[in-house]
Structures are given as C-alpha cells and as structure tokens.
Chain A
Amino acid sequence: MKLGVVAVLVLVQGPAARAATVNPVVEGRRLFLKMNCYGCHGIFGTGQIARNIQQPDPAGARTNITYGNSFGMPAFGKRLTSDQIGYIISYLGVAGTVTEPRFCDWWAPTPTKVCP
C-alpha cells in the first residue's frame, strides 16, 4: 500500500516535475525563435523564404535541422543538442493547431508576449 502510494507519486510527480523545468513545446518554440528559424519559415512556421514546416515528418525534420540542405538551410547539428532538436520538432508538431504557443519574447524566463 505504502509502496503503491509511492509508485503513484512517482508516476504523477516525475513527469510533472520535469515539465516544470522543460516543456518541450515551449522550449521548442523558444529555440525556433532563438535560432532565427522564423526568418525563413515565418513566425509560426507557415513558410516564407522557405517552406511551411508545421507538423513535419519528425525524422525528416531532424535530418534537415541537423545537417541543413543544399537549398540554403543551415546545419544546426553543432549548435543544438539532440534533445533541443527534439524540442523544436515537438513545437512544430503542434504548430498551426489550437495548442500552439504564440509568444514572441523567447528571451524571457517565462515568455508571455504574443506576436503582433
């Protein structure tokens, strides 16, 4: 019984505790802005200079972010960790949906300012 309570607490608090430090979607949005991705792909990933990258194929997105491509996409494999690339893909996975974060102040500890 006691063990069971502990197990439940771990199950509930473990992921919750991690989420308090890193929300992959929020962190991904932050990195999407910090790495200047929006300069080519648009402030919400809908495409401008480069194509729409909302809700991409995760494996293809990881390859493009890591290695870049011959059409001018820079390689970010040396600037970002594998986890960070995963966060960006998590953000892009919800981009264009009702749950997407729409903040612009990526430098703030808790971004709140919605893009104009």
Chain B
Amino acid sequence: MGLGLRLTGAWLTWLFMGAPAFGQGAGAEWPTAAGTPQGSRYSTLTEITDANVGLLRQEFAFPTGATGNHEGQPLVVGRVLYLVTPYPHKLIAIDLAKPKTPKWTFAPAVTTVAIGKACCDTVNRGAAYDNGVLFINTIDATTVAVDAATGKQKWRTRIADPLTGVTLTGAPIVVNGKVIVGSSGGEFGVRGFIQALNATTGKLVWKAYNTGPDADVLIGPGFKPYYAKDQGTDLGVSSWPTNMWQRGGATAWGWFTYDAGTNLLYYGTANPGVWNPDMRRGDNKWASSIIARNPDTGQAAWAYQVTPHDAWDFDAVNESIAADLTIGGVARKTLVHFNKNGFAYTLDRATGKLLRVAAFANQNWSKGVSLATGAPVPVAAKTPHLGVVAENVCPSPLGAKDWEPASQSLATKLFYVPAINLCSYTMGLKALYLAGAPFIGADAHIVPGPGGNLGELIAWDAAAAKRVWSVPEPLPLYGGTMATAGNLVFYGTLDRWFRAVNATTGAKLWEKKLECGMASAPISFTGADGRQRVAIITGTGWLSGGLSGGACPSIFSGSSGVLHVYKLP
C-alpha cells in the first residue's frame, strides 16, 4: 500500500511535470547527435554527480586515426559506440565490452577535390542512427548508409557535385523514416538547401532550397510566418538584387532538431553570399533564418529571419533546442536558439513568435531586437561596406557562439552556452563569381573582445532571458557542452582541458588536461557493465588551431585525435 502510494505519487508528479521532459534526456544510449531529437544534450544518468565527479578515471582511450577538427560526437546504441572522423571520414564501431580494437571500420571513398571546397576544415559533425542503420555525410557532398551490425554499406547517394562548391559537414537527423541532410558551402556562391532521403533506399523524398521562388523553398498555403517582415510571396527572390539568390549561400550546415509534438523539423540557415552587403541590397531571404518544416513533406510551417540583410556572417545554423519552459507563469513550448549575432532567442516553436530575446554576450552591431517586429536594429557604423572598414565590430564572423552546441539541463532548467569573445575589423570587397572558387567579398581582421578572456561558459535562463553565471575561459570555447542529471556540465577547451562544473553554480569540480584541444561535444551513456560513462574526442584543425597555437595534433606528427572514455572507480 505504502509502496503503491509512493509509486502513484511519483506517477502523478511525472504527469504534472510533463512527460515530454523525460523524452528530452538521453539515458543508457546516446542515439542521435544531440542525445535527443529535441537537441537538449542532457543525460538523465545520475551515477556521476557533483559529489563524486572528482573521482572520475579514464577507462580507455582510442585514437581516431585522423587529424583535423573533430567536431562531431560519438553515438552509443546498445553496447556499441560509433564515431566518425574528419576527412577521410572513417566510421568506427567500438564494442564497449572490448574497446581495444574496433568491431569494424567503414572507410568511404571520398573525392579529394572537396578538400579545397571546405571553408573551415574538412570536418564532420557526427553520424545519425535509425533502425539498425548509421548515416553519415562526407565532405564530397555524399550521404552514406551503413549497416550498424556489419559495417557494410547499404546505400550511397551523391547530393551534389563538390566541384560546384557544395560540401556536406553536418550531422544528419532521421525523422519518420527520412534522413535529413543540409548543404554546406556558403563561401563558394552556392544555393543552400536541405533534403530528405528515404532511410531504406537513399532516394530523394523532397528537397527544399533556402533561397529562390516559394515553389523551390517549399513554401505553400500552410506557411505562416509570425512577423510581417517575413510575410509575402517569393521573398526568396524579391529580397535580392536580380538573380543574386541563385548564389546566395543560405546553406544549412548546422544542427537539425525535431519535436514530435508539433511534428516540425527545425534548422537554421547560413549567412547570405556574398559577404559584401552592398552587392545584395535587400533582406536576402531566407539566409540567416530559422525555418520550421513538416519533415514528411518538407513544406515550411514558419520562418523567422534572425538577421535580415546580414552583413556580419551571422549564420543561424546554431542549434534550436525544443524546450518546455514556464514563462511568466505560463507553460510554453519553446525553441531556444543562441545566435552567432550575440542574442539568445526564445521562440514559440509552433508559431515562430518571439517570446524573449536578449544579448547573451558582448555585442555592438545592434541596438537590440524588437519583440514587436522581430527585427534587430543595426548600428550603421558597425556595418561593413564596399571599401569601408567597420571597426571593432562585436561579435566577429566567428560569432558570439558558433556551431558549437549548447545543452539544457532539465533539472536546473538552464542552458549552457559555449561562447566566443572576439571582434573584428571588416571591409567589404567587390567580388566576381567564378564557379568553384570562393565567393566571399570581404576581409575580416579578428581581434580579442573586451575583458581579456576570449571565451566563456555561460549559464542562461531562457525563460527570463538573463545570465545566471559564467566561467571565463582564456580561449574561445570551440566545442559543445553536455548537461547531466548529476548536476554537472561537461565541456572541452582549446587549451586542452576537459572539465566538469556544477550545473547550478558553475563551480569547477573536475578537470583533466588532454593531449590536444577539443572542438567536439561530450556525451554520456552506460557501458557494458551498466555503469555511467562520459566521453569526449580531442583534435583541432587549422581554424581552431589558429586560435590556440596551431592544429593539434599537427598533420605531420603521425598522431591523431583521441576518444577518451571516463567512469567512476
């Protein structure tokens, strides 16, 4: 009876608090890039806590065999860990009961010509998994499906010709039997898109461009953008000078999230091309936007252009986390997004209405963002033009936070943001479009931001739109964060520290200096013995290495990135 009452009480509490909360944390497995389709990067495991994390010990280390920026995170399904390396994109399966040698390694054929088309290192942000099959993108614009049991290729689909400048760097997501992938290459005069492939066959189901006529963008009668600035017909054409939308960038190289409640897929689009804003007068839709689509048809439900006429390289590709928050005493289904432009957006994920917005980091390009219109108010002197330097613009083109994913704790309700504190002097340059060559039209000289620290871990209350605490970091945070139910936040730094801090206070509780810096995101899972593990991958490339004294390991060193797995004794 007593036991029954307790169970009933717990069940009632579960109902009252909202069942979706449990669905938004990862458990024994880490089966999708962000742990969950909602993007929380939250582990519900509770063995490792703020009280015992100081005892963490390495269980095993596994060299990836690749150099370059390791931006992805492993997946764990069953008792097998899967990781995908930067180019040449080996997909490696590690049996957690026998981790010394791989269970299998899949080495796809990758065209070397794509190496010179990848703006920011030949990276890969991880695999997706569904129903016994792994899905990876390769830098040469190809998606490959691999049998998780055998490591054998099931299908391979060429998404685009890399000679045109299209590459693939993002992690796919699988929704309702479809593999969703998004294009990279915004610095090469491409026209960005996402597409859905049949998970069983690899055949195209739908393709949605991010610029151009509504028919190509999959904008139809069901498209209901909340703000007037985003309403109209064929804005993907009319908000550009003649035909510039055809090479207008607006790729989708970041993260996808999905919420079953709304049955909507969420993603952000990259900067408009060319960088020089004077060559593309207008809002340049749908660049630098958050777009919600029906994953079954690809039809757009709403779009919110975060930075109209983006002159600063403020891609909106950062993750949009589907989170259930209480705002002003009202339970809201929100989407939380930390943009490169330095503002944190809390949106209604069904409608795209902006509920809260505030700067989460140092910024001077804008006077603020209007809740009434949804539009930012740019500062004229901080806007680059043809032959004119915009001086000391903050944040820099690397963003106040870039693609490095934030996490959300369902216990503290806070979001943990890996931030970058850099500014820039940027001049617009005239640019000619030459197919397959970069199409940038700007020079940006990047300088440290104010305060002496180049990075920061920020705990953010998205319901109140305010900081709760922050941990200054000497270097930019160039990897993701993970929150756990043990009241912990894990993250790696470019100066080689893998850290755990108290999720409530930010107090540093544990750290380990590794052989190289980290640009990946930690994960947590249970090993073959049923006990909790935490893992991260080291390895930086030329871009992140440029912020931290060089790539690590050097491509000439003979070393590689390393997967590190930790557990309690």
Contacts and interface: CB of A to CB of B under 8 A. Distances in A.
Interface of A: 33-36, 38-40, 43, 48-50, 69-74, 79, 104-108, 113, 115-116
B540 to A, nearest CB: 15
B187 interface: yes
B496 interface: no
B69 to A, nearest CB: 13
Nearest to B165: A72
A36 B434 contact: yes
Contact of A34 (B113, B425, B432): B432
A116 B429 contact: no
A107 B439 contact: no
B117 interface: yes
Contacts of A36: 431-432, 434, 437-440
A50 B437 contact: no
10 contacts: A35-B434, A36-B431, A36-B439, A49-B438, A70-B112, A72-B114, A72-B116, A72-B436, A115-B427, A116-B391
Interface in B398-441: 425-427, 429-432, 434-440
Contact of B445 (A33, A70, A113, A115): A115
B116 A50 contact: yes
B274 to A, nearest CB: 10
Contacts of A50: 116
A71 B443 contact: no
A116 B439 contact: no
A116 B112 contact: no
Contact of A70 (B113, B120, B432, B440): B113
B429 A106 contact: yes
Interface string B382-395: 00000101010000
Contact of A79 (B117, B429, B434): B434
Contact of B438 (A39, A115, A116): A39
B133 interface: no
B116 A71 contact: yes
Contact of A49 (B119, B387, B389): B119
Contacts of A106: 429-430
B469 interface: no
B115 interface: yes
Contacts of A73: 116
B113 A116 contact: no
Contacts of A34: 432
A72 B162 CA distance: 9
B116 A39 contact: no
Contacts of B509: none
A40 B387 contact: no
Q: Which of B116, B118, B431, B542 is the most central at the interface, judged by chain A CB atoms within 10 Å of its CB?
A: B116
Contacts of A107: 430
A71 B112 contact: yes
B interface majority secondary structure? mixed
B19 to A, nearest CB: 47
A113 B430 CA distance: 13
A116 B426 contact: yes
A40 B426 contact: no
Using C-beta atoms within 8 Å of the partner chain, give the interface range for chain B: 20 to 34
B429 A33 contact: yes
6 smallest A-B Cβ distances: which pairs? A72-B116, A39-B438, A116-B425, A107-B430, A116-B445, A36-B437
A50 B389 CA distance: 25
Contact of B437 (A35, A69, A71, A105): A35
A74 B116 CA distance: 9
A33 B434 CA distance: 12
A18 B247 CA distance: 39
A105 B386 CA distance: 8
Given A70-B113, A106-B429, A39 B445 contact: no
Contacts of B444: 116
Given A36-B431, A113-B387, A72 B115 contact: yes
Interface in B97-126: 112-120
A96 B385 CA distance: 27
A35 B437 CA distance: 8
B518 to A, nearest CB: 22
A74 B425 contact: no
Nearest to B437: A36
A34 B101 CA distance: 50
Contact of B443 (A43, A72, A74, A79): A43
B428 to A, nearest CB: 9
A40 B436 CA distance: 11
Contacts of B443: 38, 43, 104, 115-116
B37 to A, nearest CB: 33
B437 A74 contact: yes
B187 A39 contact: yes
A71 to B, nearest CB: 5
Contacts of B542: 48
Contacts of A116: 389, 391, 425-427, 443-445
Nearest to A79: B434
A18 B305 CA distance: 52
Contacts of B387: 104-105, 108, 113
- Greatest chain B CB density within 10 A among A34, A73, A74, A105 is at A74
B299 to A, nearest CB: 35
Nearest to A39: B438
Contacts of B114: 72
A50 B114 CA distance: 12
A25 B391 CA distance: 28
A49 B430 contact: no
Contacts of B113: 70-72
Given A48-B542, A106-B430, A116-B443, A40 B425 contact: no
A73 to B, nearest CB: 6
